[in-house]
Structure 1
C-alpha cells in the first residue's frame, strides 16, 4: 500500500513539473508594464548572456505596496527545467523591488516601480535559455509574470523573408527562410537536438515553433519551408500620440477633462477591402512620452482613450478586441469592443499612460482563435519584424541553450 502511494505521489509530482508555463496577466491597478533589454524599442526582452534586463510598471492603487521578484528557468517548450537556482543564477531572487517613486503633477496618482537585473542581490544569470520573471506582493500572491530569453552567440542565424510559393496566399502571407551554421559547435542529430522559434513583431502568442531542418549542408542547417514557416502579413498598425494631454495630437479627434483627461480617437474603418497604404509604424510597440516634463516615468499622466471602429455587427460567437504590445497582445474583458446599434460602431475605452501607441483591431472566435486580418486585412507589402531563436540541447545535456539569434525585416522581402 505504501509503495502504491509513493508511485502515485511521484506521478502527480512529475505531472505538475511538466506543465507548460504561461504568462499571468496583471490586475486592473497594475498598468504600463515596460519590459525590455538593451533595445528600448522592443517590449520582448531577448538579451545576450551578460546584458541587463529592465522592468518598469505602475501601481495605481496608491498604497505604495512592496513587490518582490522571482526568476525561473525553463526548457524550450516552457516546461520547468531541472536546473536549480544556483546553477542558472549567481546571487538571490525573492528580493524586494527597492526603486520606486510616486507620480508628480498628475491627475492620476500612481507609484512607479523599476527593477534592473543584474543588481546587488541578483548578480548574474549564468546560462542561456527561457526565463520567467514573476512579481509577487507582500502576501506572496502572484501579481503578474513575463517571459524573456537569454542567448549565447555560438551560431550564425541567417534570416530572409520571401513571398510564399503557394499562389493562393502570395498576396497575403510572408514566409521566413532560415540558415544556421556554427564554427564552435557540431550539431549532433540536429533534427532532435536543434529547435527554432520564429516570432513576428515580438508577439510570442503567434510564434511558430517545432520546425525541423529541411536538410543539412555539412554543419549548416537549412530551413526553406513555405507553408510551415509562413505568417499572415497583416497590415501596418494604427497609431496615436498624446504626449500633450491638453491638446489634440496625431490620431486624436477631441479631448475632454473630467476626473481625468478623456481623449477621443478618430473613428477607424475596415481596411481588409481597401488597397494597401504604407503607414510607418513601430510594429505594435509603444513609447511613454510627455511634452511638459523631464521624467515620463513619473510625470506622464493617465488618460482615458476612447476607441471606435465603424463596421457592421459581427456574427454571433465573434468578438472584436483592440490590442497591441501595450497590453502584451492580450485579449480579455478590458479590450473587448461593444457594438452600438445607434451609431453603427464598436466602442471601447482604455486607461493608458501618455505616449505613442500602436494598436490594431482583431476578431476572436468562440473557440479562442485569433484573426488579426479580419478587420485590417493581410498584405504582403506590410513591414514586419521577425526574430528567430535557435535552441540546442546536446546529447546528455540537462537544459536547452539558446545558441543564436537572427533578425530580419520584411521591408527586404523578395520572391
Structure 2
C-alpha cells in the first residue's frame, strides 16, 4: 500500500508540474535568424488581430534539409495551459510538415530557409483570441524551439499615454504608462476580478508588467494612473550596425576580413550610463535582414562573424556582460557573453549573424541572474520606446482568457 501511495503522489506531482507556466524553448546553435512577425516587415513579438496571418521564418545551418513540423497550443493569461481542446481554438489541423523551404544561393555559409504562414491549407485559422505558442519539432518528434504570440479582438479602445515618473528619485530615469480603457461594445463585469492588463516595452516579454488591475472606473471606462506599478526604466537608444554589403565597411563597421566566412569588426563601444543622453534613431532592439544586389534576401543574404568590442572602465571590471537584442529573442546565454581581453584591455565577443541592420546593447547580468539594462547604457526618461498594452478578460463562468483590446503608445512625446 505505501508503494502505491508513493506512486500516486509522484503522478500527481508530475501532473501539477506539467500544468505550470510554460516558457519558450530556445533553439540549438544550428538554427539561426528566427523571424516571427505579423503584418510588419521586421521581426517582433507578434500581436495580431483575430483573423490575420502570422509568419515564421528561420534558417537551418546544418545543411541536412531536415523536415520540421509545427504544433500550436493555447494558453491562459499566466501562460498555463488552457482547458480548450484543439478543435475549440483551431480550424483544421496542426502537427504538419513545413513544406515551404529553399536552400541558400551564392553564399559562403550554406543553409536551408524555412517559411511557415498561418493560416494555411492545413491550419485554416485560429478561432479565439488569447495567448498562443508555436512549437517547432523535428522528424523525431523532438521540440527544437518555440515562440509565443498573441491574438486580440477589437472589443475595447485603449488609450496609452507615456509620462515621466512622479518619484523625484527616478524622474530622470523612468517612464510611466497611463491607460484609459473604453468598453462601449461590451459590458465588463466585475473588472477588478475579470480584467488584467499587460504592458510590454519594445516587444520584450522579459521586462513586461503583468496583472495590472484598474485603479478605478468612471462609467464604462477603466482608469490606470499608477506610478511605480506601471513604470519602466527608460534605458537608452540601441547601438546599431548595418552590413548589407559584406565586401565593404558599412555603418558601424570598422573593417572586414574574408576567411572561411566574412568577418566584420565593429568600432569599439563605450559605457554611456555616465554620459548625457543623445537622441539616435533606432528600431527599439529589432533587426531587419538586408543584402545589396539580392532579389531574395531570405536565401541570398550571407552569414557573417560579427566582432563586438566594449571598452571597460572601473565600474565594469569583473562584471558579467552580455550582448542583448531581439536578434536572438533577448536570450542571455554563453554565446552572448563578453570575454575580457587583457592584452587589448577590451571586452570582446563574436556572433554569427545574417546580413542586415541590427540593434543591440550591452547589459550586466547580476549574480541572481537578473538583467541590469542600464548599467552600461544608462537610463534616461527621454529615450524613445514603444509600449503595447494588452487587455485580458475572462467573464464569470468563462473557460479561457480573451484578449479584448490592444493599445500602443510611444515615449517620443513624453510629458510630465
Equivalent position SS for 2:162: strand
Q: Which moved more, 1:374-383 or 1:184-193?
A: 184-193
Tell me, in whole angstroms, the C-alpha distance in 2 between the residues paired with 1:324 and 1:227.
25
Report the alpha carbon displacement of residue 210 of structure 1 after superposing the two structures with TM.
Answer: 1.5
Q: Number of aligned residue pairs: give it.
A: 414
Alignment RMSD, CA only?
1.4
**Any conservation in 1 of the 2:43–2:288 contact (CA below 8 Å)?**
no
1:243 counterpart residue number: 244
Tell me, in whole angstroms, the C-alpha distance in 1 between the residues paired with 2:70 and 2:269.
40
Report the alpha carbon displacement of residue 183 of structure 1 after superposing the two structures with TM.
Answer: 1.4
Per-residue CA deviations over 1:129-169 (Å, capped at 9, x if unaligned) read: 00000000011111000000000000111100000110110
- Counterparts of 1:161-180 in structure 2, within 5 Å, are 161-180=162-181
Tell me, in whole angstroms, the C-alpha distance in 2 between the residues paired with 1:118 and 1:86.
15
Report the alpha carbon displacement of residue 18 of structure 1 after superposing the two structures with TM.
Answer: 2.5
**Any conservation in 1 of the 2:35–2:43 contact (CA below 8 Å)?**
no
- Counterparts of 1:29-108 in structure 2, within 5 Å, are 29-108=30-109
Q: Which moved more, 1:2-11 or 1:330-339?
A: 2-11
TM-score for both structures, normalised by structure 1: 0.97
**Any conservation in 2 of the 1:27–1:143 contact (CA below 8 Å)?**
yes
2:349 counterpart residue number: 348
Tell me, in whole angstroms, the C-alpha distance in 2 between the residues paired with 1:237 and 1:41.
16
Report the alpha carbon displacement of residue 10 of structure 1 after superposing the two structures with TM.
Answer: 6.8
Q: Which moved more, 1:256-265 or 1:304-313?
A: 304-313
Tell me, in whole angstroms, the C-alpha distance in 2 between the residues paired with 1:173 and 1:397.
37
- Structure 1 residue runs without a partner (length 5+): none
Tell me, in whole angstroms, the C-alpha distance in 2 between the residues paired with 1:168 and 1:324.
28
Q: Say yes or no: does 1:254 pair with 2:255.
A: yes
Tell me, in whole angstroms, the C-alpha distance in 2 between the residues paired with 1:315 and 1:280.
30
2:26 counterpart residue number: 25
Report the alpha carbon displacement of residue 110 of structure 1 after superposing the two structures with TM.
Answer: 0.2
1:269 counterpart residue number: 270
Per-residue CA deviations over 1:79-103 (Å, capped at 9, x if unaligned) read: 0000000000000000000000000
Equivalent position SS for 2:24: coil
**Any conservation in 1 of the 2:50–2:153 contact (CA below 8 Å)?**
yes
Tell me, in whole angstroms, the C-alpha distance in 2 between the residues paired with 1:351 and 1:67.
22
Tell me, in whole angstroms, the C-alpha distance in 2 between the residues paired with 1:90 and 1:9.
36
Tell me, in whole angstroms, the C-alpha distance in 1 between the residues paired with 2:357 and 2:65.
27
1:198 counterpart residue number: 199
